[in-house]
Amino acid sequence: MAGNKDFDLYRTSEFHEELRDAVRAVCEARIAPHAADVDENARYPQEAHDALIETDFFAPHVGEEYGGVGADALATCIVIEEVARVCGSSSLIPAVNKLGSMPLILGGDEDLKKKYLTPLAKGEAGFSYGLSEAHAGSDTAAMKTKARLDGDHYVLNGQKSWITNAGVSEFYTVLAVTDPDGPRGRNISAFIVEKSDEGFTFGEKEKKMGIKGSPTRELLFDNVRIPADRMIGEPGTGLQLALRTLDHTRVTIGAQAVGIAQGALEFATNYVKERQAFGKRIADFQALQFMLADMAMKVETARQMVYVAAAKSEREDDDLGFYGAAAKCYASDIAMEVTTDAVQLLGGYGYTSDFPVERMMRDAKITQIYEGTNQIQRLVMARSVLAR
């Protein structure tokens, strides 16, 4: 059957490819040179922070009405992917700014949005996300942090664990139980907590395998009084808002995973083209060519899954839950495979910190764990399939 000759094959737009070129230039010049030092010294990537602010890539998802650039979901993924290609820690700056502010974007009133999205767009404040607790990771409805209404304020007590960029961000979306006797999962509300709020402190930095430049700390709440108008949405809707947020932001973790894998693939490819063994380039050995072919195939498959999920995020399609989980799950599994293979291709050199692939392998691991472990992603996908 003859096809439509006017049909344009699926591809990213000229705008998206120009954006990729612009972000890559910033990354190569101002982020990549510091990536190894950031990892070695487990220090916050301030150089990346500053560069992302100056180029409007700090929180590109924020709408123009709040002073942002209003990047669509795919554009935001491309920014995160390109930063992750050179530094996984730095890619968490735009990724977590979206994660932390997404509940506000989805459920906040206009006054709250203007108050908190405007400084985020300007790069004056970062935004983190407080959902997990020490004994309530995947089982988020079991959280114990409470917010008690006291006049026109809420008083928060409890803790949150594994909070990315904690201590650096100025703003935090925090989920807390507001009705202890209410139905499970429908007794939780979302609030915005400011770093300067009295009684709000941070635990010590976690000592991690990877993404060492992004501080991960506990949030500690000791009778933290916040105005009642800092609640996002209606009482009792916090967990639903949190889960809707993850449908969107799992796509960005998929983008991060793709970027890390792409960086490892490129480095390993360049290495095998230069490395000599048995009188010729090791790139000329078929066994290694097959490894590279499989790595490239998997990275590109993951990228296409992430881009399709990003389009669904932008449209808020009904099946976003499945596609967001699938993109995050597949891309992160592939990132782990590809970075491990990159280490293998470099042999003994790959196991040393003189080359970046071992850092990329360590950074890739967390993408299989945060914003829902890949076991949880498979549960999400299975439930979607069974509901059809």
Q: Which domains does the chain have, with CATH numbers?
A: 14-122 (1.10.540.10), 127-236 (2.40.110.10), 240-386 (1.20.140.10)
- Give percent of the chain above pLDDT 70: 97
State yes or no: pLDDT of 218 exceeds 60. yes
pLDDT at position 10: 64
Q: What's the pLDDT tens digit per position in 166-215?
A: 999 999 999 999 999 999 999 999 999 999 999 999 999 999 999 999 99
Q: How many whole angstroms separate alpha carbon 306 and alpha carbon 171? A: 28
- Identify the sign of the CA torsion 310, 313, 315, 320: positive
**Contacts with 148 (C-beta within 8 Å, 6 or more apart), sequence order:** 154, 155, 157, 178
The helix/strand count (H/E) of the chain reads as 11, 10
Q: How many whole angstroms separate alpha carbon 165 and alpha carbon 255? A: 19
**Contacts with 181 (C-beta within 8 Å, 6 or more apart), sequence order:** 187
Q: What is the mean pLDDT of residues 335-345?
A: 98
Q: Which residues are catalytic?
A: 371
Q: Which two tokens stand for residue 122?
A: 């300007």
Q: What is the mean pLDDT of residues 60-75?
A: 97
Q: What's the pLDDT tens digit per position in 147-156?
A: 999 999 999 9
- Nearest-10 crossing angle of helices 73-86, 88-107: 160
**CA nearest neighbour of 307 among 21, 16, 74, 9:** 74
Q: How many whole angstroms separate alpha carbon 271 and alpha carbon 343? A: 11
Q: What is the mean pLDDT of residues 287-306?
A: 98
pLDDT at position 270: 98
Kindly report the pTM of this predicted structure.
Answer: 0.96
Q: How many CB atoms lie within 10 A of CB 170?
A: 15
